[in-house]
Amino acid sequence: MRLALLTDGLYPYEIGGMQKHTYYLAKHLARAGARVDLYHVRPLDAPAVDEASLFTPDEWANLRLISVDRAPARRFPGHYVWESLQSSIALWEALKGRLDVNFIYAQGFAGWETIRQKRRGAAVPPVGVNFHGFEMWQKPASLHARLEQWLLRPFVRWNVEHADVALLLGRSLATVFAKTGVVPRHLVESPNGVTADWLFAGTRPEEHPLPRPARAFVRFVFIGRYERRKGIEELHQVIAKLAPDHAFHIDFVGPIPPALQLRSTHATYHGPVRDEEVMRGILREADVLICPSYAEGMPTVILEAMASGLAVIATDVGAVGDLVGPETGWMIPPGDTDALARTLVEVLNAPAAIEAKRRTGQERIRQSYLWNTVAHDTLRNIKATLT
């Protein structure tokens, strides 16, 4: 089978959930035997990348990488929509001479112009679109976010309605997707994944995952940008409230401005961490990941944390429910600081409850969310739509 995979950004040129999803999906589809034409929009200030090292020789045998340059940014109301359309046009120009594929997998708006050309009569193979969390139909964190959602909805709805396949990260997203009002011709599950080197385990079953260091407190970790929808402001409020009366520590990983950091001995701020070995080390010292977002798809940080043997406190958004439940962690409503505080206190008062959740969570990743499994399942699901 031959696929064209279109994306408006690719790891490691850009850092983000969709960018990583595209990179690892292409990598493991190629390993699974699919022929993959990977089209990506490269930012004007892209870091120097040794493209030959992005994939192994076996992967390169089944993979072709085609890049187009991103149009210069413009700042005006709705500029993101305009820039997304321009990127999709550049991707179509690169794709239109190479349409000898069985399926086109488009991340976000990357297939917009391709779908428009198909509707105008171009001989285009079936197109599937993946808008990951469909976040424009999730709870907004502010009035500004709500206005952005209203702006994006009609364009997202048009892409999904006129694609041949709607791709969803997980079953839990079905409720969010239903809010689009679109009844797709085909609905295909194409989740996120994690590589096996994130698994933290010994050689014996009882060492899956390996035990944490003995200590008299719980160690939490938050990973993300200082972005309103990530819920870090609510987390900061709760940490500041609980710190005087409870023993715990929390590691913050991500670009969080120093002026906005808590002045507390309970918190350590590591800044952005790009080295995956350093990130693994931070996770393997922690007990519980906190992911208090207002909106998500299927966060890579949750997958990496569960693989590393962490229990998870997360908001019930996007496809998080496919990963986190009573067996693997604690779910709370987005934006609810009281629920977040109660859950943290519950964990602090009963740390033994963490152990079973750690084991179940890691096994869930091992069984269903390693990238080789995800790629084979995605390929099978796409093939089923073509028969």
Is it true that 2-193+370-386 and 196-368 share their CATH fold?
A: yes
CB 256 within 8 A of CB 227: no
**pLDDT per residue of the chain (387 residues) written in tens, 0 to 9:** 999 999 999 998 887 889 999 999 999 999 999 999 999 999 888 788 888 999 999 999 999 999 999 888 777 777 889 999 999 999 999 999 999 999 999 999 999 999 999 999 999 999 999 999 999 999 999 999 999 999 999 999 999 999 999 999 999 999 999 999 999 889 999 999 999 999 988 777 777 887 777 777 899 999 998 999 999 999 999 999 999 999 999 999 999 999 999 999 999 999 999 888 999 999 999 999 999 999 999 999 999 999 999 999 999 999 999 999 999 999 999 999 999 999 999 999 988 889 999 999 999 999 999 999 999 999 999 999 998
The helix/strand/coil state of 64 is strand
- CA distance readout (Å), 242 to 106, 217, 236, 246, 352: 44, 13, 10, 6, 20
CATH architecture of 2-193+370-386: 3-Layer(aba) Sandwich (3.40)
Sequence spans of domains, the chain: 2-193+370-386, 196-368
Q: Which residue, among 19, 17, 33, 104, has the nearest Cα to 376 in the 3D structure?
A: 33
Instruction: List all residues 6 or more positions away from 10 whose beta carbon is below 8 Å from its beta carbon.
Output: 19, 22, 23, 38, 40, 41, 42
- 290 neighbors 261 (Cβ within 8 angstroms): no
Architecture in CATH for domain 196-368: 3-Layer(aba) Sandwich (3.40)
What residue type is assigned to position 373 of the chain?
A: T
